[in-house]
Structure 1
């Protein structure tokens, strides 16, 4: 594990296309565009969550961000806002956490990627995966990263396979996994 603790000081990450910064209440208005996007909702990974991440009011979005921030403080997961660098738009968010050890895959983390439907494309997804592949194994002390992609998520699936993720059978859902050191 890294000398830096992601839960003590949340890193900011950059690629040419996107930046990731810890989500705050200041992001609520722009993130509502993502979480109220009915075309995007089916692509979100809401497995084991009490709702489907479909929020239609500023109050719902702020409440969810408050929950994300409490979860960060209790070291449950980290939620970053995805910012498109060329426009400075906040186009979605990602979440990462260490889920523990599963016999078939070992110590693993789960990466949730929530993007507005008009940004569900290879450039954005591969930029997020580039950051995950470079930093999240060490930041979260995992040997495998899992992320979900439903069969209709063609751009996401193409991006996942291009970035070294392979389909696996996990909780009877549509998950892709990538082992560390590929």
Structure 2
């Protein structure tokens, strides 16, 4: 367990090509490009999110960001924007939320986090996804005091499946988890 609760001070993570910072309203313009990408939208994991997120305009994205910030302020989950250093642009988001959603990180009962990666389709490849997954593996277990991370990837998400397999995620089989197509590490 880390000494600093991430809900007291949200960590900033950095890899070779990416910087992860807590999502903020100013990210809406770049994120609208990501979330209006039809391929990205088709890959989004809305399991247990309570509806479909319609990103038909920038106001909808701004409203979504406000919701994510409120969830962070309520100490429920964290969503970071992904800034690609070479192009100095926000290209997507990642989120980690507790499973089951009746628990909270750092409460001693939450053992698993569900990871969501939404990235513009032009960058959804095993190299970029692996860079994200390595950052997650290097930090989230300790920073959130969890033992497992799960993430959705259908067989049609070939690059995502390759990245997961290359980063020691295994297909989640025979689980009581109510959704399908998940991997676990």
Q: The residue matched to 2:2 in structure 1 has which SS?
A: coil
Name the counterpart of 1:149: 153
Unpaired runs of at least 5, structure 1:
none
Q: The residue matched to 1:40 in structure 2 has which SS?
A: helix
Of the three residues 115, 138, 146, the one matched with 2:119 is 115
1:87-166 map, 5 Å: 87-100=87-100, 107-166=111-170
Q: Do the aligned partners of residues 25 and 116 (structure 1) sit closer, same or farther apart at CA in structure 2, a change above 3 Å counting?
A: same
Task: Measure how far apart 1:171 and its partner are.
Answer: 2.1
1:163-178 map, 5 Å: 163-169=167-173, 170-178=177-185
TM-score normalized with structure 1 length = 0.91
Unpaired runs of at least 5, structure 2:
102-109
Encode CA deviations 1:1-60: one digit per residue, 9 max, x unaligned: 211111011111011021111100000000011111111112111101123334121110
TM-score normalized with structure 2 length = 0.89
CA contact (8 A) 2:99 2:113 kept: yes
Name the counterpart of 2:62: 62
CA RMSD of superposed structures (Å): 1.5
Is 1:10 matched with 2:14?
no
- The structure richer in strand per residue is 1
4+ runs of 1 displaced by more than 6 Å? none
